[in-house]
Every structure is written in C-alpha cells, then in structure tokens.
Structure 1
Amino acid sequence: MNRQRKDNAMIVRSLVALVAVLLAVPMLFADAVAQPKPKISATLRIDWIPGSHHIGPLLAVERGYYAEEGLDLAVKPGKGSGATVQAVAAGSDLFGFADAGVMAIAASKGAPLIMVANTTPRGPNGAITLGPKLTSPKELEGKTLGMVPGEASQAAVSALMAKYQIPPTAYRVISVEAASKVPALLTGKVDVIPGFRFGDFLRAYAQNKNTKITLFSDWGLNILGNGYFVTTGTLAEKPEMVKSFLRATMRGWKEAMADPKAGVASLMKAYPETNREFAELGLPMVFEHMQSEATKGKPLGWMADEDWRVTLEVMKGAGLEGTSPPAKFYRNVIE
C-alpha cells in the first residue's frame, strides 16, 4: 500500500513537472519572438539639399519602413553627386543617391561602385528658357548658353549638339557659377541653361512663371537621372540588406505617389526650411520621370540596358574611361 502511494506521488510529481515545462515553452517562445532584431545603423547620402526627388526615403523613415527591415537609417544631405559618390566609395556612407552618369565615371576609373535602382530613368535634364518653349535643337543655334564648368549637363549638351550636327561655332557658351546659373537666365545674361526639371527649372519657375523646359529625352537623348548605389563589396557581402533597403525605399515612393501631401509633409517635417511651393510643384514632376520608354511595365527602380548604353556614351564626353558594358555599372536588385 505504501509503495502504491509512493508510486502515485511520483506520478503526480512527474505530471506537475511536465505541465510546468509545457506551460513554460510558449512563454519562452513568446520571449524569443518579442526580442527585437538588432538594427543595422546606416546612412543614405543624397546628392544635395533634400527636395522633391528625395521624398521617398524620408517618408519611409517617418513611417518606420526601414526599421521594419532591420535598418536604422538616416538620410543625410549632400554637396553634389560627385561628393556623394566619393563618400560612398570611401565607406563614409553605406548607401548613396546621385546622378547615374557621375557614378559611372567614378566606377570607370576604379571606384568600387554599382547602382542598384534608379527612380528617374526618364532623364530630367533639359534646355531651360524664358518665353516660348524650344521645339527643336536647331533653335539653340545663335543662342548663348550658361553652364557650370564640369557639370553633368555639359556632356549632355555636347552629345545633343553632335546628334543634331550643330557645330560649336553655332552657339556661345558662358561659364557661370552654380549659384548664379538661374539668375543668369532670369536677368537675360544667357538665353538658355541646361538643368534638371525639378532642380534648376523649378528654381527659375518659382521666380518667373514664364520659364519653360524642353527635355533632352524629348529630342531622343535619354540620359539616366539619379539612382541608389552601394559599393560592389556591400552588394556581394550583404545582398539581403541591400534588398531590404530597396524594399523600404520603394515602399516610401509608392506611398508618396498615392498620397503626395503626406510625401511633402514628411519633407517639411525633416527639413522645415524647405520651400513648400518648390516641393509641391516638383513632386508630380518627379513621378513623371519614374519610367522611361525602356522601363515601362517594369517595377519601380528597375533599370534598362538601353538607357545605360545611351548614358555611358554621353558620359564619355565628361571623362568616362574604357569601354566596359553597361552590366559593369548596374545590377537590378528590385524584386
């Protein structure tokens, strides 16, 4: 009888222990699930003071999309595409957003860089004028053009003139400082300035509503605009992190397209000194450049070999070295 009691007591103790273990398992599992994944701290260095073509990442930061992907991302202003390219190549910033042609020139000279998405495949560069909009490149003959020495637009103008067989003697070029480029047009010092639609054009338009722009892409010369890039080492060693960055970035852009007011609000919140009118006018323009003829029907950010071929050919006039194929300069990581 005593033995039976002992056996029963042992069985009860075993059952109690088993129940305790079973109850503890879900709690341990819940604790494991509840533990947040460690976030990777990273910076996205953009090309300039934040504006309408930088809104996607800013909205993604505000809504926590990078955090959901395990990234603690900070968007940092830049001082031109060239400086941004150098910063990423040197490892000072993990991600960069800059002119595709400028990045390609650096990569052709040995910088370990590769573009992983481009949100302005329809080139935003064009000829900016006051008064009637230019309808043909031939109308540039006899005009005075104001250009900043070494700017990306300079190579585009040279390529355009060559394409339409307009000799250098048919027009005049005046060198201007970056800060005086738009004023030179507005004051009549020059007849034409090349520049981005949501950059120099908007700066001029905000001051004179008679400002017009004709895109070089409308004249058959589509040069890629800004895109996101990393070092080749980052892409090779951390491809999933790059994909995570792009998922969050494109999510931000898609939501900005669905709700432009929220997009502009995110820019104003992050950088209150921004000109709101400038941003509100520019954002719809940015959307119009998110697909080129060659990328229509493809995911946002996807790049076409054809667009890269044209861009690289033009950039030869701006210092691009070698004859490497487009595949050296970009990789479609967008899923």
Structure 2
Amino acid sequence: MFKKMFIAAALLAAAVSQAGAQEKAPFALDWKFEGPAAPYLIAIDKGYFGDEGLAVEISEGKGSLDAIPKVATGAFPFGLADINSLMRFLDQNPGAPVTAIMMIYDKPPFAVVGRKDMGIETPKDLEGKVLGAPPPDGAWAQFPIFAAENDLDMSKITVEPVGFPTREPMLAEGKVAAVTGYSFTSTLNVMRLGVPMEDQTVLLMSDYGVSLYGNAILVNTDYAAENPELVKGFVKAVAMGWKDAIADPAAAVKPLMSRNPAADEALETERLSLSIRDNVLTDWVKENGFGGIDADRMAKSIEQTKSVYEFVNEPDAALYFDSSYLPEEPFMLQ
C-alpha cells in the first residue's frame, strides 16, 4: 500500500515538475478571436504547445501591423503580422530584433471590398469615390502597390481614415463606397450587417498585380538565439493546429467560441474556411509544404515594395525571413 502511494506521489511530482518547466511564451495575434485564430487556440487546447515545453497565452491584436513592435521590444517572443510591413519596420528600425520564421498566408488576404450599388466593380471605379481605410490595416499598407499596378490616380480617391470597429458599418451604411481590409474579415462582416455577398465587389489585391506574401509568425531574434528548440517547437505546434483546422473547420472553431462566446459560430466557421481556401492551403503549399517561402517570389515582392516605398537601407530578404526553425521535411497540411 505504502509503495503504491509512493509511486503515485512520485508520478504527481513529476507531472507538476514537467508543467512547471514549461516556458511562458506570450503570443501576439494580429486580430481578434475570429475564425483564422482557431488553429492557435487548438494548439493550446490539444496540448501541442505544451508538448513542446511551451505555456502559450494568446493576446488579441489591433491590426496586422500591431504585433511587430510588440515582438521587437521583447514584450512578446512570438507574434503574427504582415511580412511586408515588417520589411518597412526593419528599414526604419535597423537592427531591431525581430524576423519572420513561418509563412501563414502564402496568398495574402489584402483586399478592397466595395458596394456594387455605389459603382464599385473594378479598381478604376475607386476614382471619384470615398475609400475607408484604417491606418494600421495591412491591406491599406499595401494599397499603394495595388494603386500603382492598376494605374489609379490617388488624387481622385478620397481616403477616409476609419477605425476598425466602424469600417464595415460605414460601408454597410453607404458612408464610404469601399474599404480596405482582409477579404475574409470585411466581406463577412458587411454581409452580417445586411449587404449580401452578391451585392459586394471583392477586389483581391493578389488578383490585380500585387505579388506579395501575407501574415507570418514573427519571433524576437534574441529570444530565438537563446531558445532555438522552443522556437522549433512553436512552429511545429502551429502547423499541427492548422492541420487540424483544415481537416475539420467546424470542430476547429469550438475553442474559439469558448474565448469569444458572442461570436457567430457559423460565420466564424465560414471565415476560417475562406482563409484556408484562399490564403493558407494554396497550390504552392500543397506541393511544397506549409510555412516556407519561395526565394524568387520573395525577391519579386521586395522589388514591388521598392516601387512604392523608398528604402533607406538596401533591402535584404535574409533580414525578413529565417527558415532555419522550420523542419527539413516540410509540414504537409493534408
């Protein structure tokens, strides 16, 4: 009897010791607890992060640029943010300890969402109209490239700075003719506010000449240098979360609903499904695996950024993406 109690106590002590050994790793999300956040919550609830020695706590974000300074200052070791905005941040803050290590949106969701009844059908239709754009929005950050690729006269477009909470309501109320945003965010939010999908025009920037990547996992490089195995474990857990989400999007949003009970479960399932279809599980990812980038395409995206942004320092892809924390055998999501 005593022996059994001793063994039980030893096992309990080992479990407590193992839990205590987990490294706290705050993760700065790009946006709210909506459909595309589900894979990271799955990784927490199913213990994928825990299995890698990480105690991950996820914080909501305020836009796809929001996480960059959080990670650069070391307040968060990990974040999710737009890699194109990261390029500009590092140009303006040379030597900042932050880089991308895992591509999430192989095809970015940057979009202009407009109303057909207000005359928005093509990019040119934006001229003479009011465009609502939140200043911290990743899609707005790339709008100059979209404008240049489609020969838009910016002097003919009235840009109305709007807040994220008011962006879709203003479009639904007809106060602006179009907004910049993520395709899976703005379209569904506007639909929920009474504008059917068939009455919306969705101009995906990637369909109109914008050859960029989207959001990526960021890491504080000082943290990564000290904890390389934990960083490798983090990206592994993220990949497992996305794989589960792809296998069953409806089940994937359950952890989301427990954090955001006011969310519409069906809507968030649709939002997650759209992000998987259009942004994550692309043809390139199906063939080459999840998380990496193509060097030639990255070079092209830098050149495209140079066409609308004057780099102070010579751009260097090695500063923006470090693939060394990804496995030699790529993550396959199906």
Same-fold call, TM > 0.5?
yes
1:20-54 C-alpha deviation (Å, 9 max, x unpaired)? xxxxxxx9xx98xx666421121111122211111
Cα distance between partner residues in 2 of 1:88 and 1:149: 20
1:251 is paired with a residue of what secondary structure? helix
RMSD: 2.7
How far, CA to CA, are the matches of 2:284 and 2:127 in structure 1? 30
The corresponding residue for 1:250 is 239
Partner of residue 65 from structure 1, selected from 44, 48, 53: 48
CA contact (8 A) 2:49 2:237 kept: yes
Residue matched to 1:48: 31
Match in the other structure for 2:201: 212
Partner of 2:3: none
Change over 3 Å in CA distance of 1:320–1:250 after alignment to 2: farther
Separation (CA, whole Å) in 2 of partners of 1:150 and 1:264: 26
* In the alignment, structure 1 residue 304 sits paired with structure 2 residue 294: yes
What does residue 253 of structure 2 align with?
264
Question: 1:324 maps to which residue?
Answer: 315
Structure 1 pair 304/205, CA: closer, same or farther in 2 (3 Å)?
Answer: farther
Alpha-carbon distance change, 324 to 196 in structure 1, aligned in 2, over 3 angstroms:
same
Equivalent of 2:102, from 90, 113, 117? Answer: 117
Structure 1 counterpart of 2:40, one-letter code: P
Number of the residue aligned with 1:86: 69
The alignment covers a number of residue pairs equal to: 306
Partners of 2:162 and 2:146 lie apart in 1 by 20
CA distance in 2, matches of 1:65, 1:128: 36
Partner of 1:197: 183
What is the DSSP-based 3-state SS (H/G/I as helix, E as strand, rest coil) of the residue aligned with 2:151?
coil
- Partner residue, 1:7: none
* Aligned-pair CA distance for 1:59: 0.5
Q: Structure 1 stretch 56-65 or stretch 269-278: which is displaced more?
A: 269-278
Asked if the contact 1:129–1:193 (Cα under 8 Å) also holds between the matched residues in 2, the reply is yes
Per the alignment, in what secondary structure is the counterpart of residue 297 of structure 1?
Answer: helix
Match of 1:10 in 2: none
Q: Could you tell me how far 1:293 is from its partner in structure 2?
A: 6.0
Decide whether aligned partners of structure 1 residues 281 and 297 sit closer, same or farther in structure 2, where only a CA change above 3 A counts: same
Distance 2:310 2:286 in 1: 30
- Letter of the 2:280 partner, please give it: M
Tell me the SS of whatever aligns to 1:193: strand
SS in 1 for 2:101: strand
Report the equivalent of 2:87: 104
Q: Assess, with a 3 A threshold, how the Cα gap between structure 1 residues 53 and 307 changes in structure 2: closer, same or farther.
A: farther
- Tell me the amino acid that sits aligned with residue 173 of structure 2: T
Provide structure 1 residue ranges, at least 5 long, that are not aligned to the other structure: 1-26
Deviation at 1:147, TM superposition (A): 1.8
Preserved contact between residue 105 and residue 321 of structure 1 (Cα < 8 Å): no
Q: Pick from 216, 223, 229: which aligns with 1:234? A: 223
Q: Note if contact 2:65-2:137 (Cα within 8 Å) is conserved in structure 1.
A: no
Residue 225 (structure 1) aligns with:
214
The structure-2 alpha-carbon separation of the partners of 1:150 and 1:271, relative to structure 1 and needing over 3 Å to count, comes to: closer
Q: Structure 2 stretches of 5 or more lacking a match?
A: 1-6, 328-334
- Alpha-carbon offset, residue 314 of structure 1: 5.2
How far off is 1:96 after superposition? 0.7
The 3-state SS of whatever aligns with 1:328 is helix
Contact 1:294 / 1:304 at 8 angstroms: preserved in 2?
no
Q: Deviations over 1:295-319 (max 9, x none)?
A: 5512212222344345445555468
What is the TM-score when the length of structure 2 is the normalising length?
0.82
Residues 106/156 of structure 1: CA separation in 2 closer, same or farther (3 Å cut): closer
- Bigger Rg over Cα: 1
> C-alpha offsets along residues 90-139 of structure 1, whole Å, 9 cap, x if unaligned?
21112111222222222222321110112112010112012389664334
CA positional deviation for 1:55: 1.0
